[in-house]
Structure 1
Amino acid sequence: MSVWGEVLVGLAILIGLVGIIVPILPGVILIFAAIGVWAFLTGGATAWVIFGIAAVFLVLSGVIKYTWPGRKMKEAGVSNRALFIGAVLGIAGFFVIPVVGLFVGFVLGVYLSEHQRLGQGEPAWQSTKHALKGVGLSMLIELLGALLASGVWLVGVFVA
């Protein structure tokens, strides 16, 4: 693969990393696809081993991001209904308020759902804070997996 091809793959990976932090783009899918294209165009066993290791990091972080924070939110008493309503209002907020609408809608949705369920403001706010911690932890786990996969690819660029 040419240097310019590797630069383009690197840019796609960088855009994927930004997509994890600012959930507008499917970051992990972009990173996975970029490293896959690189492995295909580079060819050889080393490139495919690099791709395999990167894929393991991405898949493993994806599994952990859905299990660990979810369990912590369950232990804190955050309902699935609140998370669902938060997600729906987050998506709506994304279109109503550019850039920050996803965050505002999610917080509002979780809070309103928990307030309706619990009947009081303070416990609803505590549940909302636990949901935000869970979402933050989920993003960090996904980012860690993506950074590890990106690092493996970067090593592969110099080795393959």
Structure 2
Amino acid sequence: MGVWQLLMVGLVMLLGLLGVLVPGVPGRWLVWAAMLWWSLHEQTGLAWVLLVGSTVLLLVDQVVVWLLPPRRIRGVGITRRMVVSAGAGAVLGFILLPVVGAVPGFIGGIYGSERRRLGGHGPAVASTRAVMRAVGTSVLVELFACLLVVGAWLGAVIWG
């Protein structure tokens, strides 16, 4: 696979990760479609294993998100800055402490955004709890699964 195609696959995966954070955008399926595209062009044993593994993981993720309480976005005070901070925190946490760092990074991003907005520790903690109860858990589960898929793809491209 050429460099340009790898860049395009990476770009679609990045758009999928961003799509997880935006309601109504099929981020999970963009990540999967990019993995499918890469696997069909690569056609190696590793590529097929990653495609099957990501398919199973993202289907299980879909079921888990369906089983979680529905998202209640209105009235919680979610801002674009918070979404960007939470996503950036999850990605940074995933990079600094592979896999498990995404969770504290996501929550830390929400807390940091709320601390800036509200000014104090107490109100920021209360707001972070409210956001995590309303939408954070389902977004975090979906983002975590997509980060695992993207991380596996990156590992295969770099070391495979």
Aligned to 1:18: 18
TM-score by length of 1: 0.59
- CA positional deviation for 1:3: 1.4
Return the alpha-carbon distance in structure 2 between the equivalents of residues 154 and 37 of structure 1.
Answer: 14
Instruction: Return structure 1 stretches of 4+ with deviation > 3 angstroms.
Output: 129-132
Identity of aligned residues (%): 33
User: What does 1:119-134 align with in structure 2 at a 5 Å threshold?
Assistant: 133-134=133-134
TM-score by length of 2: 0.59
Q: 1:55, 1:149 within 8 Å by CA — same for their partners in 2?
A: no
- CA positional deviation for 1:17: 0.3
Aligned to 1:59: 59
How many residues are treated as equivalent by the alignment?
109
Aligned-pair Cα RMSD in Å: 2.7
Return the alpha-carbon distance in structure 2 between the equivalents of residues 27 and 43 of structure 1.
Answer: 24
Unpaired runs of 5+ residues, structure 2, are 81-128
2:132 pairs with 1:138: no
Q: 1:57, 1:145 within 8 Å by CA — same for their partners in 2?
A: yes
C-alpha spacing 1:144/1:23, structure 2 compared with 1 (3 Å)? same
Residues 25-68 of structure 1 show CA distances to partners (whole Å, capped at 9, x for unaligned) of 2100100000000000111221111111122221222111221x
User: Which residue identity is paired with 1:43?
Assistant: Q
Q: Secondary structure at the match of 2:23?
A: coil
Return the alpha-carbon distance in structure 2 between the equivalents of residues 53 and 47 of structure 1.
Answer: 10
Instruction: Indicate the structure with greater helix content.
Output: 1
Q: 1:9, 1:38 within 8 Å by CA — same for their partners in 2?
A: yes
2:43 pairs with 1:43: yes
Q: Larger RCO: Structure 1 or Structure 2 (Cα < 8 Å, ≥ 6 residues apart)?
A: 1
Aligned to 1:6: 6
Q: 1:13, 1:31 within 8 Å by CA — same for their partners in 2?
A: yes
Unpaired runs of 5+ residues, structure 1, are 74-82, 91-98, 101-128
- CA positional deviation for 1:156: 1.7
2:31 pairs with 1:31: yes
- CA positional deviation for 1:135: 2.2
Q: Which has the larger radius of gyration?
A: 1
- CA positional deviation for 1:159: 4.4
- CA positional deviation for 1:22: 1.8
C-alpha spacing 1:45/1:131, structure 2 compared with 1 (3 Å)? same
Residues 96-137 of structure 1 show CA distances to partners (whole Å, capped at 9, x for unaligned) of xxx87xxxxxxxxxxxxxxxxxxxxxxxxxxxx879614221
C-alpha spacing 1:64/1:134, structure 2 compared with 1 (3 Å)? farther
Return the alpha-carbon distance in structure 2 between the equivalents of residues 157 and 42 of structure 1.
Answer: 10
